Amino acid sequence: MARSSGGKSALSRAVRVLEAFDPSRNELTLTQIAARADLPMATAHGIVAELVELGLLERRGRELILGVRLWEVAVRAPGVFGLRETAFPYLEQVRDRLQQHAQLGILQGGEVLYVERLSAPESAINFTAVGGRIPWYATSSGLVLAASASPEELNRLLALPRPRFALEPQDSNADFKNRLAKVRQEGHAVTRGYIHQDSTAVAVPVLGPYGQAVASLAVVVPSGGFAVEPVLSVLAPAARAVSVKLREAFAG
């Protein structure tokens, strides 16, 4: 997450100011920005003034918010945008057919970053938000992406610490490898009661043009009366359809 925090350049300090905003704190005063970015007030003041001038921050009364201009540039990031656009109709289909939350995640530095989420009213408790992150070992999406990772990438993931996130099992590396082997074999991951005891998540991989897993498609359903087959009968064909579209887009 804080990959820029060691940086000394003007640019890295500006990124620290932008990263001071997080999903739960999207309006900050200058004092809060300086504290969260670990910058002297005068430095923070200068950077904020310049970011406002560039349209990357906007003033809202005494507080500052991330600017629409920043969103406008960033929405062109093809790593998210092409994927999201391609997957979107299938994500809607999954949500509509199952009447449950449907989400699309990618692996980023040991965490699953959710790039889209469609909510279903009256369905299971779910804490995921667009732009939110959950550690890879605590989510069905993370397990399915880890199971599809290269041996080097998997070793990198298993070398990271795994502090307890919610209610997930706390396995040794050997147990984890067995669990991931099962996920790889079955082609899907089920996590019952990991984030909330009453919720179960099911994830399947979305494959990129070279057959590598580039994202996961997942649903969150109530644990009571859960059966995997009806969920997979909707989820798996949707993920395969997204994979075909991605391959076509790449070839075209």
Q: Minimum distance from CB of 23 to a second copy (Å)?
A: 6
What are the CA-CA distances from residue 65 to residues 3, 27, 54, 79, 106 (Å)?
Answer: 22, 5, 13, 25, 26
Give the Cα separation of 144 and 213 in Å (integer). 9
Q: How far apart are CA 236 and CA 99, in angstroms?
A: 16
Phi/psi of residue 192, nearest 5 degrees: -95, 120
Nearer to a second copy, 119 or 223 (CB): 119
Scan for tokens 């449907």, then name that residue. Answer: 102
Cβ 210 to a second copy, closest distance in Å? 13
Report the nearest approach of a second copy to the CB of residue 2 (Å): 11
Nearer to a second copy, 57 or 144 (CB): 57
Residue numbers at the binding site for a second copy (CB under 8 A): 3-4, 7, 9-12, 14-15, 18-19, 21-23, 26-27, 47, 50-51, 53-56, 58, 65-81, 85, 92, 106, 108, 113, 115, 130-131
Residue 89 or 230: which CB sits closer to a second copy?
89
Are 93 and 245 within 8 A, CB to CB?
Answer: no
Helix, strand counts (H, E) of the chain: 9, 8
Q: Please, which residue, 187 or 208, has the CB nearer to a second copy?
A: 208
Taking the complex as a whole, the smallest distance from the CB of residue 55 to a second copy amounts, in Å, to 6
CB of 235 to a second copy, least distance (A): 20
Residue closer to a second copy, measured from CB, 29 or 233: 29
Query: What are the beta bridge partners of residue 199?
Result: 222
